[in-house]
Structure 1
């Protein structure tokens, strides 16, 4: 049973999504990463496998690119608002099961959706600490993602190579997220791990 479930919307940031899958597979092994297009054999019960994997995974990475939140169907309705939307079903299933769910923001400008923009059964996603894979520093971002996932799977405080012992680093600092809402017009801004804010 794969320990990592990659949840994604197919038209959204496909090339970055594929890089994330390859990076995780190279470090942890392809058998440890569930990706629907590769992990479900032809003729298998697609719906049953997706639900079971989402319920039983140790870690779900929700890959969120710029088109994830507002993707729409042929009728113009937002896909995420449909009860049977598979992205929504996957996330809701993992959350109900009590699995660890990590939003992974793809690209430099992608924002974590606000809870008010999400259906109630996955609104919890908006309050979860995210990881970012920036396009402008892709190799470093992928390395950080893989290290963080490895750490979460090992239950240790610092990333390690699979099969090795763990030793916490003295200078390890947990990632920090800050959100500022600008009144009277303006925009919301999130500071991720790779950004520095200096206070006066």
Structure 2
């Protein structure tokens, strides 16, 4: 069974907070529902194939963004995000191309969502997606709110298909048949909502 939630993160960035996020979501939903590369890829497995497949098939990708996420660099001073084979970039681009719901999760009180101009073109859409924040100063409340939001988003994914119409129980006589029109609403699963404010969290419909 493919885990429903993919945690995308950069290893040197906010490790203790992302570990708290992982534990909180695992306690809430079960560890089998959360894909985190360090825990979810067995020894000897083809990690590249697993990462691509999980990113493409997840229902929800949480992109954990801390203070060092955007500007982390390699030993030559090249920004990691600018490398074509940066795994964080590849994970996000794969999920976006697949039409999966992607939610930036800002770790800490002051972390800002990067602007589109600061991101490579294949993940620039990330800058337009509404985010959640896990503040360090109110961490327990922030983790609880994150769990509530993620649970609701997964429930929303479950109900994206049109519900079956149940037969009515009215005893009134049937009216003469009249021409009818069927309307179908197509709901986007991408969740590409523009953010109204820098520190606004996801508002669930």
Settle same-fold status: TM greater than 0.5: yes
Query: How many pairs align?
Result: 166
Quote the residue 2:85 is aligned against.
Answer: 84
Question: Are 1:73 and 2:71 counterparts?
Answer: no
Consecutive unaligned residues of structure 2, counting only runs of 5 or more, are 158-192
Report the Cα distance in structure 1 between the residues aligned to 2:77 and 2:201, rounded to whole angstroms: 36
Task: Pick 1 or 2: higher relative contact order, CA cutoff 8 A, min separation 6.
Answer: 2
Q: How does 1:99-118 map to 2 (within 5 A)?
A: 99-118=100-119
Quote the residue 1:63 is aligned against.
Answer: 64
Q: Secondary structure at the match of 1:31?
A: helix
Aligned-CA RMSD value: 1.6
Q: How much has 1:94 moved relative to structure 2?
A: 0.1
Q: 1:131 to 1:74 in 2, by over 3 A?
A: same
CA contact (8 A) 1:176 1:192 kept: no
Q: Secondary structure at the match of 1:44?
A: coil
Q: How much has 1:155 moved relative to structure 2?
A: 1.1
Which aligned segments of 4 or more residues in structure 1 are displaced greater than 4 angstroms? none
Report the Cα distance in structure 2 between the residues aligned to 1:176 and 1:116, rounded to whole angstroms: 15
Q: How does 1:5-44 map to 2 (within 5 A)?
A: 5-44=6-45
TM-score by length of 2: 0.78
TM-score by length of 1: 0.80
CA contact (8 A) 1:106 1:133 kept: yes
Q: Spell out, residue by residue over 1:107-126, the C-alpha distance to the aligned partner (whole angstroms, 9 max, x if none).
A: 00000000000000000000
Question: Are 1:191 and 2:199 counterparts?
Answer: yes
Question: Are 1:121 and 2:122 counterparts?
Answer: yes
Report the Cα distance in structure 2 between the residues aligned to 1:83 and 1:5, rounded to whole angstroms: 21
CA contact (8 A) 1:176 1:193 kept: no
Structure showing the higher strand proportion among its residues: 1
Report the Cα distance in structure 1 between the residues aligned to 2:195 and 2:45, rounded to whole angstroms: 40
CA contact (8 A) 2:62 2:103 kept: yes
Quote the residue 2:48 is aligned against.
Answer: 47
